[in-house]
Amino acid sequence: MSNIIKGPSTRELMAQMAAEADQLSIRDRRDFLRKGIAAVGGMAATTMAGGAIAKEVNTANLPPNEPAWGKQLGHGVVENPYGHPSEYEKHVVRRTVPWLTADSIASISMTPLQDLKGIITPNGLVFERYHGGVPQIPMEEHRLIIHGLVERPIIFTMEDLMRFPSVSQIKFIECPANGGMEWKGAQMEALQFTHGMLSCCEWTGVPLKVLLEEAGVKPEGKWILAEGADGSHMSRSIPLEKALEDTLVVYAQNGERLRPEQGYPLRLLNPGWEGNTSIKWLRRLEVGDKPWYHREETSKYTDLMPDGRARKFTFVQETNSVITSPCPENPIVKSGFLEIEGIAWSGRGRIKQVDISFDGGVSWVPANLKGLVLDKALTRFSLVTKWDGQPWLLQSRAIDETGYVQPTLKQLRDVRGGNSIYHKNSIHTWKVAPNGGITNVQIT
């Protein structure tokens, strides 16, 4: 900004504005500064509909002028041996809601869904959930033990595991608490916080079935305890049927080895199931005849109902969807042509259809699915339309291949009350203001 503002009069005006803003609350001040900056910077920045701040533009780089980067050389190869995003994309980062958890070691961050395209989440933006921080584990010192009700207990090195024929699959992973802050009311004025505990990657590894066959599960074996090597030694009981159906033991994501945040060097992946069952830093799989009822499947990750009883083993992430553009972070900036875009996903299979409502769910029109439509993966939908200042109540509603239709918030609340924390997959509403600004609302 400062390199754009050159005239002393502008500087004075900015200073005066900043001083005035000091008297305001943070929220008001932000709005004030936004509007003020746009007014002052008439030559450099323009207010857009929806209150978005247009980036300052140096007209010296615009046609018919030859831009600065066309008159010099850029840096050479391996300046960044492992590349990173453009310096103009620094706002595209994971963010957390600090008051959710007691500290940052056992906490969660969210993926900036509002900034992503397609269905793949870049590795550095996959949401984080740790129960005891991120361990740094040398690949050579990591072991996976399979034992319990098996014919031959096995200890695998990473080298061993990579000798097995590998498979690669694109699957979403979602925390069951995604959206959980909004059971009792809308709270989060941002898509990143309402839906960002969600990512989708291409995962590479070995089907757990193959490893279990190698060990030989005894007929009494019905459950598997998966355990992490980190300080929390996170553990979950997984039914054997799931393990034999599609669970993977994963060592790579989106083409490279797992990130430490995602379980390097080894993690479990239970496609379509709540993320915490996909144990990271996986070190042990024990086959047993009963579940273990550990802390993360009793005290946590159980869903309290209005009658005081709680649901256990609520594994599946049911069909869900949300509009990613527009959204609070992506207001509508111009009247006229508008592509409404979003993502849909189901833990039970493929997305079959997504519908969009402009009037809060009174009437619906079908959207188009675009790109890949895969089993238990994010699926992108789109609807091309026009907007001329109408005060929309925008919603999306997904239907999966089992015929399950994403429910309304009222339908969920009528059955589950307001204290179940997890698995809130209801239809989400964005309110579109006449200036194109977007707010998070609930329709009851």
Judged by CB under 8 A, the chain residues 360 through 419 that form the site for another protein are 360-365, 393, 397, 399, 404-408, 411-412, 415-416, 419
Shortest CB 237 distance to another protein, Å: 9
Which residue, 170 or 331, is less far from another protein as judged by CB? Answer: 331
Residues of span 20-39 touching another protein by CB under 8 A: 21-22, 26-27, 29-30
Burial class (CB in 10 A: 0-12, 13-18, 19+), 265: buried
* End-to-end CA separation in angstroms for the chain: 43
Report the residue from 91, 218, 334, 370 that binds another protein according to the rule CB under 8 A. 91
347 touches 374 (CB < 8 A): no
Indicate whether 434 belongs to the interface with another protein (CB under 8 A): no
Indicate whether 227 belongs to the interface with another protein (CB under 8 A): yes
443 touches 360 (CB < 8 A): yes
Shortest CB 300 distance to another protein, Å: 9
Indicate whether 235 belongs to the interface with another protein (CB under 8 A): yes
Indicate whether 312 belongs to the interface with another protein (CB under 8 A): yes
Q: How far is CA 437 from CA 343, 408, 427, in A?
A: 20, 24, 20
Which residue, 119 or 127, is less far from another protein as judged by CB? Answer: 127
250 touches 170 (CB < 8 A): no
Which strand (E) or helix (H) includes residue 208?
helix 208-215
Residues of span 128-157 touching another protein by CB under 8 A: 131-132, 145-147, 152-157
Which residue, 91 or 334, is less far from another protein as judged by CB? Answer: 91
Report the residue from 273, 315, 358, 381 that binds another protein according to the rule CB under 8 A. 315
Total number of residues that touch another protein (CB under 8 A)? 118
Write the binding mask 261 to 300 for another protein: x where contact by CB under 8 A, - elsewhere: ----------------------xx-x-x-x-xxxx--xx-
265 cis-preceded (ω within 30 degrees of 0): yes
Indicate whether 209 belongs to the interface with another protein (CB under 8 A): no
195 touches 182 (CB < 8 A): no
174/38 Cα distance (integer angstroms):
38
Residues of span 40-59 touching another protein by CB under 8 A: none
288 touches 225 (CB < 8 A): yes
349/231 Cα distance (integer angstroms):
34
Give residue 334's identity as a one-letter amino acid code: K
> From the CA atom positions of the chain, what is the Rg in Å?
25
Indicate whether 84 belongs to the interface with another protein (CB under 8 A): no
Report the residue from 58, 368, 390, 439 that binds another protein according to the rule CB under 8 A. 439
Which residue, 119 or 352, is less far from another protein as judged by CB? Answer: 352
Indicate whether 65 belongs to the interface with another protein (CB under 8 A): no
Q: Phi first, then psi: what are they for 66, rounded to 5°?
A: -80, 120
Which residue, 373 or 393, is less far from another protein as judged by CB? Answer: 393
Closest CA to 350 of 376, 318, 321, 316: 376
Angle at 118 between CA 115 and CA 119, to 5 degrees: 100
Indicate whether 307 belongs to the interface with another protein (CB under 8 A): yes
226/399 Cα distance (integer angstroms):
32
Report the residue from 119, 190, 248, 438 that binds another protein according to the rule CB under 8 A. 190
Which residue, 170 or 332, is less far from another protein as judged by CB? Answer: 332
> Which of the stretches 54-62, 211-219, 261-269, 379-387 binds another protein when contact is defined by CB under 8 A?
211-219
Which strand (E) or helix (H) includes residue 322?
strand 320-325
Report the residue from 71, 78, 83, 103 that binds another protein according to the rule CB under 8 A. 103
> Which residues sit opposite 249 in a β-bridge?
206, 268
Closest CA to 195 of 317, 17, 355: 317
Report the residue from 99, 136, 219, 337 that binds another protein according to the rule CB under 8 A. 99
Indicate whether 120 belongs to the interface with another protein (CB under 8 A): no
391 touches 426 (CB < 8 A): no
Report the residue from 67, 118, 306, 371 that binds another protein according to the rule CB under 8 A. 306
Which residue, 1 or 384, is less far from another protein as judged by CB? Answer: 1
Give residue 291's identity as a one-letter amino acid code: P
Which residue, 283 or 350, is less far from another protein as judged by CB? Answer: 283
Which residue, 202 or 300, is less far from another protein as judged by CB? Answer: 300
